[in-house]
Amino acid sequence: MPYNTNQGKSPVAVSAADANKVRIFSRVLTGLVVLALSFFGGWLGSMSQTQSTSNSIVQQKTILKNEANVISDIASTVGPSVVSINVTSETAQSMNSPFDYYFGFGRPSQKQQSAGTGVILTKDGLIMTNRHVVPQGTTEVSITLSDGTVLDDVTIVGRTSERDSLDVAFLKIRNTKGVALKPATLGDSGSMKVGDTVVAIGNALGQFQNTVTSGIISGYGRSLQASDGSGATSETLDDMFQTDAAINQGNSGGPLVNLAGEVIGINTAIASDSQSVGFAIPINNVEGLIKSVRETGKLSRPYLGVMYVMLTDDIAKEYGLSQDRGAYIPTSQQMGVQETVIAGGPAAKAGLKAGDIITKVEGATINEKNSLVSLLGKHSVGDAVSVTVVRGDEQKNFVITLGAAPTE
C-alpha cells in the first residue's frame, strides 16, 4: 500500500528506478570526492617536495657563504704574516770559446732576478721560506710586507742541503724600520685529513702579492722529483701534502693554512703537466728546524745518518719484505751506493744495519700520516730518541742521539 503524502512527516515513497538513480549519483559523487582528494594530496606532496628542495638550496647557499666568509677572514688575519721575497743572484756563465775569456767577450757571471713568498715566524723578523727561493749565489734579498713596506736589510740564516728532502731556508730582517711584524700561528699538520679545506696565500707569479686561493688536502705522504723550469736543478721531495688549491710560480715558501687560520704547510712545488696539483711541506716536518733557529740563530737539522725508503704494499713486495709499513734501510747493492748506513753516523753508532726496518720513533708508529721525516722533525740535534726496528723475525729497540745534517 502506498504511503499517503498527507500523513504528516512520513517518508516519501520512491520507485525502484529512482532508487537506482540515487545509488549511481552517490557513487559518482564519491568518486569525484576521492579524485579531488587525490589531486589535493598530490598537490600537497609536490608543495612539500618543492619546500624541501628550496630549504636544501638555502642551506647550501648558507654553507658556501659561511665558508667564503671564513676564507675572507683567514686572508685578512694571516695576510699580514705573509711576505714577498725579492732575490738577486749570480750564476756562472759558461764561455763560448777560450777567446771569450782572454779578450773579455764573455762574462764570468750573470745576475738574475727572482721572487718567492715567506712566512713571518717571530716579531723580530725571522722568516721561513723554501731553499730554492734563495738559491746558491744569492747576493741580495729584500722583503715586501703585505702593506707594501719594503725592508732591504735581510740576511740568510741558513738553507738545508741541496741533497736534503726538506726544501727549507730561513731569513732574518735585521732592520725592521720600526714596523711591527705579525708572526703567523703554526698548527698541527698531523691532524689534517684528506678532504679538509685549506687556503694558500702567496706572491703569485712574483707580481700578484697576497694572492688567496682555496682547495682541499688531496693526499699526503707524496714523494716527487722537482726541478726548476729549465731543468737545470733537481731535488727529491718526500712526505709532501698534495692539494688542489691553486699554487703558482712565486707562491713557493708561502703558507698553506687550515680553517682555523693556522699554518699547516709550506707551499713548495706544482705539477707542471697538470692543473690543480700542488705540493706543500707539512709544518710538523720542520718543527725541530724552527726550534733550533729560534733558540740558537742557526739552522741545525736532526738526522739519523741512513738512506731509507718509505714502505708501501708495492715497495714491500718489490723488496720481498713481509713488513709493509715503516722506513726500510736498503742494502748498498739495492741502492747502488757505497753505504746506506753512514759510517760514524748516529744510526751506525747505535747499532742499526742495512736491511733494518724502522717502525716506531718514540713509540709513534711510522705510516702514511707519520713518516720518519715528520717524526724526527719534532726533535732537535742532540735529542736522544727511542727507535723500534724490525730485523728479520726480531723486533729490537735502540736509543739514538740525533746528529746534525749537513747544511748550506
Last residue of a domain, one of 227, 250, 283: 283
Answer yes or no: is 200 within a domain: yes
Q: Does 382 share its domain with 351?
A: yes
Amino acid in the structure at residue 296: T
User: Cell 716536518 identifies what position?
Assistant: 285
Q: Does 344 share its domain with 379?
A: yes
Report how far residue 276's alpha carbon sits from residue 34's, in angstroms, rounded to the nearest whole number: 58
Amino acid in the structure at residue 366: I
Phi, psi of 349 (to 5 degrees): -65, -35
Report how far residue 144's alpha carbon sits from residue 281's, in angstroms, rounded to the nearest whole number: 23
Active site residues: 132, 167, 252
Q: Does 345 share its domain with 272?
A: no
Residue 132 φ/ψ region, left for φ over 0, alpha for ψ in the -120 to 50 degree band, beta for the rest: alpha
Q: Does 266 share its domain with 320?
A: no
Q: Does 346 share its domain with 276?
A: no
Contacts for 81 with CB less than 8 Å, ≥ 6 apart: 119, 120, 182, 183, 184, 255
User: pLDDT higher for 274 or 139?
Assistant: 139
Q: Does 314 share its domain with 399?
A: yes
Contacts for 59 with CB less than 8 Å, ≥ 6 apart: none
Question: Are the C-beta atoms of residues 131 and 168 closer than 8 Å to each other?
Answer: yes
Report how far residue 116's alpha carbon sits from residue 204's, in angstroms, rounded to the nearest whole number: 8
pLDDT band at 8 (very low <50, low <70, confident <90, very high): very low
Report how far residue 212's alpha carbon sits from residue 216's, in angstroms, rounded to the nearest whole number: 14
The whole-number average pLDDT for the span 114-134 is 94
Answer yes or no: is 23 within a domain: no
Report how far residue 378's alpha carbon sits from residue 356's, in angstroms, rounded to the nearest whole number: 22
Q: Which 3-state string (H, E, C) describes 174-211?
A: CCCCCCCCCCCCECCHHHCCCCCEEEEEEEECCCEEEE
Q: Does 268 share its domain with 354?
A: no
Residue 163 buriedness (CB in 10 A; 0-12 / 13-18 / 19+): exposed
Q: What is the dihedral of CA 231, 404, 300, 374, to 10 degrees?
A: 70
Q: Does 248 share its domain with 340?
A: no
Q: Does 278 share its domain with 331?
A: no
Domain of 305, in residue numbers: 301-404
Counted domains in the chain:
2
Answer yes or no: is 326 within a domain: yes
Whether residue 67 has pLDDT greater than 90: no
Last residue of a domain, one of 221, 252, 283: 283
Question: Are the C-beta atoms of residues 288 and 245 closer than 8 Å to each other?
Answer: no
Grid cell for residue 198? 685549506
The whole-number average pLDDT for the span 269-293 is 86
Answer yes or no: is 86 within a domain: no
Answer yes or no: is 173 within a domain: no
Last residue of a domain, one of 238, 256, 283: 283
Answer yes or no: is 323 within a domain: yes
Q: Does 314 share its domain with 364?
A: yes
Q: pLDDT averaged over the chain?
A: 80
The whole-number average pLDDT for the span 282-307 is 88
pLDDT reported for residue 14: 44
DSSP codes joined into one string, 220-263: EEEEEEEE-TTSS-EEEEEEEEEE-S---TT-TT-EEE-TTS-E
pLDDT digits (tens, 9 = 90+) for 216-274: 999 988 877 766 544 445 567 878 999 999 888 888 999 999 999 999 999 998 887 66
Which sign does the torsion angle of CA 375, 337, 223, 160 carry? positive
Whether residue 86 has pLDDT greater than 90: yes
**Core vs surface per residue 98-110: b (16+ CB within 10 A) or e:** eeeeeeeeeeeee
User: pLDDT higher for 378 or 235?
Assistant: 378
Q: Does 266 share its domain with 324?
A: no
Whether residue 288 has pLDDT greater than 90: no
pLDDT reported for residue 102: 39
Answer yes or no: is 55 within a domain: no
DSSP codes joined into one string, 66-115: HHHHHHHHHHHHHGGGEEEEEEEEEEE---SSHHHHHHT-S-SEEEEEEE
pLDDT reported for residue 154: 95
Report how far residue 37's alpha carbon sits from residue 33's, in angstroms, rounded to the nearest whole number: 6
Q: Does 400 share its domain with 335?
A: yes
Share of the chain above pLDDT 70, in %: 75
The whole-number average pLDDT for the span 149-161 is 92
pLDDT band at 52 (very low <50, low <70, confident <90, very high): low
Answer yes or no: is 159 within a domain: no
The whole-number average pLDDT for the span 364-385 is 86
CATH of residue 312's domain is 2.30.42.10
Alpha carbon of residue 195 to chain centroid:
11
Please state, as a whole number, how many other Cβ atoms lie within 10 Å of the Cβ of residue 307: 18
CATH of residue 279's domain is 2.40.10.10
> What predicted TM-score, i.e. pTM, was given to this entire model?
0.73
